[in-house]
Every structure is written in C-alpha cells, then in structure tokens.
Amino acid sequence: MIPMVKIKYMARADRDERPEFRMGGIRRRFVGELIGTYLMVMIGTSSVAAAVIAGAQMGLWQVAVVWTLGVSLAIYATANISGAHLNPAVTLAFAIFRREDFDYRLIPIYWIAQLIGSIFAGLTVLGMFGPAIARFEAESGIVRGAAGSQRSAMVFGEYFPNPAIYGTETAGAIISPLGALFVEGFGTAILALSIFALTDKRNTGLTGNLAPLLIGATVGVLISLFAPLTQGGWNPARDFGPRIVAYFAGWEGIAIPGPSEGFWIYILGPLIGAPVGAAVHHFLLKPALVRAADDQGR
C-alpha cells in the first residue's frame, strides 16, 4: 500500500509541475481568455448596437458576418496563448472530452477570465453607444427598466423571441422558455461539434490555419438561422457579462432576471449543448477519423 500511495503522490506532483499549472502558465492563459473574450464580445455586441440603435447593419445577416469576423479575429489573436476557448461551455466540453489537452482544474481560471472579459466588453459598448441608446429610447418612448425596454437592453443581453423582429409582447406565442432553452442548447451543440471537428489533429491537413475563420463562420451561420428566436447566444459569458452591465446601467429587472425570468436559459442551454456536440464528435466522428487514418496508412 505504501509504494502505491507514493506512486500516486508522485504522479500528482509531476502533473502539478506541468507548464499550465505554473504561475506564468496560469497568468498567460487567464490573459489570453480575458482579451480574446473581450475582443469577440465587444465586436459582436457593438454590431448589435449599431444595428438596433443606429440601423447601421441592414439585416440580420450583416450582424452575423460581423460576429463571424469578430470570433475569428479573437481566436487568431489568442489561440496560441490559451487555446482560445472564449466560451465557458466550450471550456466545459474540452475538460470532459479533451482531457489530454485541457485539465479540468483550469475551468475556474477560464470561466473567471471569460466573464471579466465580457463585462469589460459590455462596459465598452455602454461607453461608446450610451448617448445613442438614450436617444433611441427617448425617440421610441422606451422607459429604461420598464416592460418593453428589452428593445434597448438587447444590445447587451439576449431575449426570446428577438425583440427587434417580434416586438416585446409575443414571447409566449412565438417561443416558450423551454423552446428557447432547446434552441440555445442545440445551437451550441452544433458549434461545439464544429470546434472539435475543426481542431482535431487528424483534420489539420484540411483546415490548417482556416480553423478560426471556419469556427467564426459557424457562429455567423447559427446566428443567421436562429437569432430571430433567441438572438443566438451560444455562450454564457457573451450573454451574462454584458447583461450585468445592463443591470447596473438602469435596466435592472429587464436585464436580470429578464422577462419570464429567462436569463438562465442563456447560461444553462450552452452548458448542456456544448458537451452534447463534443460527445457526437468524440463517439461518432473521431472513431471514423481514426479508421480513415489507419486505412490511408496501409
């Protein structure tokens, strides 16, 4: 028993000496996730603000394209620093299905960095668009924090159905909270499946340096398809960080807990969906890739 305990202790000690668990490695990963999430959320939510408040983006697809480029830029900027998860749901999926590349003990570091980055992004959008949002509310007869003010709060957090398309009085008729939870989970599952497939080492010959752009394109496609229903979050940090900013900026209950108390949908849905999408790759696509690689090697 004593030798076995000693071996286990030594294995744990060796594991803790891995570069990612040294202070420099933790700091590097924290900074990478914070800055990457900030870039992505700042660019994406600014495109929503420009569309909703100023009419600068003429159509949902234009907003989706900006999100595509924002996600891609953030990944290119930070992939070699932290792996560019930029999404708590993706981090959870990596901790479950990519344990050889990501240790579950890093989850709190990543989640905190992602949330702080998204809060800073929300503060940036509020600082840049604050006067324009106030003018939009005055011209539209919106009282910040009152029922219906999700038409301006949607610049920060997300609502179901999309207030810019369906207004603010049709929530139950268009989509229920359970339906919104399913949409957010389903969309995030597709995103995670895409990420795991595009970053699989067996696919690097096909994707190479295009993986960040293709992941960004996946986000853009999902937004263009499902944003009319839920605004297309797919990322708990992307929604909750700016939503916190909106709460303290005067939207209060409209921000948190939101109409139908639905803010939790944009947290729980992705956290369920990402592992599901990763599981599809791990149990179905990955074995097929291994067999294909073996066949080519014969």
Which CATH number does the domain housing residue 179 bear? 1.20.1080.10
Contacts of 207 by beta carbon, 8 Å cutoff, 6+ apart: 198, 214
Q: Are 278 and 96 in contact (CB under 8 A)?
A: yes
Does the predicted TM-score (pTM) go above 0.85? yes
**Number of domains, the chain:** 1
Amino acid 273 reads G
Tell me which residue of 24, 92, 15, 69 sits closest to 273, measured CA to CA: 92
Domain that holds residue 205: 2-297
Could you read off the pLDDT tens digit of each residue along the chain, which spans 298 residues? 334 333 343 344 444 556 666 767 899 999 999 999 999 999 999 999 999 999 998 789 999 999 999 999 999 999 999 999 999 999 999 999 999 999 999 999 999 999 999 999 999 999 999 999 999 999 999 999 999 999 999 999 999 999 999 998 876 789 999 999 999 999 999 999 999 999 998 886 666 789 999 999 999 999 999 999 999 999 999 999 999 999 999 999 999 999 989 999 999 999 999 999 999 999 999 998 888 766 666 5
